[in-house]
Amino acid sequence: MANCNDAAREGLRKIVEIFYVGPACAPLKVLLNDSALRHVERQELMTALMSNDFYQHAVGNDYGTYDMFYDFHDGTIPMKITFNIEYLQEEGLHKQTFVFHADRGYDLLELNNDIVENYKDIITRINFIRDLELDDYIECPVNRFAAIDCSDEQGSAAVDGGSLTSFAADLDTQGQEDVLNSTLLAQLAANKKFDREKQTKEWYDFYKTVLEKVGWVVESFEFTKYNSSSASFETSKVVLDILASICSGQEMLVVASAVKALNDLSNDDKRVKIFESQSHSLEQGNFQVSHCVQSNDLISMKLGTFYFTTTEKVVRVLWHKFESAGCQFYRGAQKITLSDKIYSKVREEVITKLGDNAKKFIADLEI
């Protein structure tokens, strides 16, 4: 570490000061002398926490600095280490915070490896988002009508590009915005890379990749062809039928209300223009309808995915009545989850990448 730059040396100095000079020095020594930690010496602790790998990524090569703080709890979790990392990129100074809990049996080298891998993972996700190219074309740009209101006991809903998304009443505004922004990013990035209506498989593969990079856990998208037993069928019935296979009765009330709310709007309504222009052309389409709930520290989405080709001219896709003989209609459904632990680290990057697109493509519905 002889070649440390000034910023890196200052970061090391602060760590040494916090661990060995500050008033909490005594309890730290007690921890270090705990037999479960194998009587780790101070230098060994420093070596473990400052491996060349982590040092190179966090403070080396003029990349940035970090401070490390620890805290003692009631004995159940004796040590909490927090890294506040600052690093420079072309756009300016960026900050990330990582918190790690170590119990008395936690191996310090394992702790260090967790820190390194966590840091690398977040930086990889951030760089992926920054490198995305987005499709920003829209027929009728709009400003978002209002902040989403989830005070209604039933729930709320929003148009999000080519998706119609509803929310349980207990999902807060931050969670709703995280869902809408992350899925819009995935749509626009996939739109840029592949033709949404003609390259559906490739589109959904990349849509999935983007979702995973920002913190969603997604299975592979699988579709089955819808075979109607009658000469014609209405899209909304197909949509509600497949979502009913993964949603509860109460959740379906919210989904159905969202579908009806969009249906009740006129063709000239800007929210209709957003959804229709992004979900289909005259004879082909690719759209999503979903419902989101809070599940502990995760957001769970019940997601219906749909695409079609037809010989007919489609104007309002959810209420179009297709002739069975002239339409190839495919549908899929799955549950996906968003981890706030991951998304909170990339939230600002997603917002920055979207820019004004969030105002153009997202609009709330009254249900």
pLDDT for residue 154: 80
pLDDT for residue 59: 38
**DSSP character string of 341-356:** HHHHHHHHHHHHHHTT
Tokens (6 digits) for 115: 């820190």
Give the highest mean pLDDT range of 41-50, 85-94, 107-116, 279-288. Answer: 279-288
- Map out the domains of the chain with their CATH numbers: 6-131 (no CATH), 156-365 (3.40.198)
The distance from CA 171 to its chain's CA centroid, rounded to whole angstroms, is 15
- Kindly indicate the confidence band of residue 97, based on its pLDDT and cuts at 50, 70 and 90: low
pLDDT for residue 328: 97
Q: Specify the amino acid at residue 118.
A: N
- Kindly indicate the confidence band of residue 95, based on its pLDDT and cuts at 50, 70 and 90: low
Tokens (6 digits) for 323: 């002739």
Tokens (6 digits) for 107: 């191996």
pLDDT for residue 117: 66
Q: Looking at residues 62-74, what average pLDDT do you find?
A: 39
Residue 361: its H or E element: helix 357-361
Percent of the chain with pLDDT over 70: 63
Q: Looking at residues 36-52, what average pLDDT do you find?
A: 40
Residues β-bridged to residue 338: 216, 299
pLDDT for residue 281: 95
Tokens (6 digits) for 331: 């549908």
Whether 143 shows a pLDDT value over 50: the answer reads no
pLDDT for residue 66: 39
**DSSP character string of 34-99:** -GGGTT--HHHHHHHHT-HHHHHHHTSTT-EEEEEEEE--SSSS-EEEEEEEEEEETTEEEEEEEE
* Main-chain dihedrals φ then ψ at residue 308, nearest 5 degrees: -155, 160
- Kindly indicate the confidence band of residue 89, based on its pLDDT and cuts at 50, 70 and 90: very low
pLDDT for residue 122: 79
Interhelix angle 108-131/340-354, rounded to 10 degrees, is 30
Mean pLDDT of the chain: 76
What pLDDT, in 10s, does the model give residues 19-31?
Answer: 333 333 333 333 3
Whether 54 shows a pLDDT value over 50: the answer reads no
pLDDT for residue 297: 86
Best CA proximity match to 351, nearest among 192, 181, 163: 181
What pLDDT, in 10s, does the model give residues 205-222?
Answer: 999 999 999 999 998 899
Residue with tokens 């100095």: 13
Question: Which is more confident, 53 or 264?
Answer: 264
Q: Are 317 and 288 in contact (CB under 8 A)?
A: no
The whole-model pTM stands at 0.72
Question: Which is more confident, 43 or 32?
Answer: 43
pLDDT for residue 153: 63
Tokens (6 digits) for 255: 């989904």
What pLDDT, in 10s, does the model give residues 235-279?
Answer: 999 999 999 999 999 999 999 999 999 999 999 999 999 999 999
CA distance 367 to 40: 60
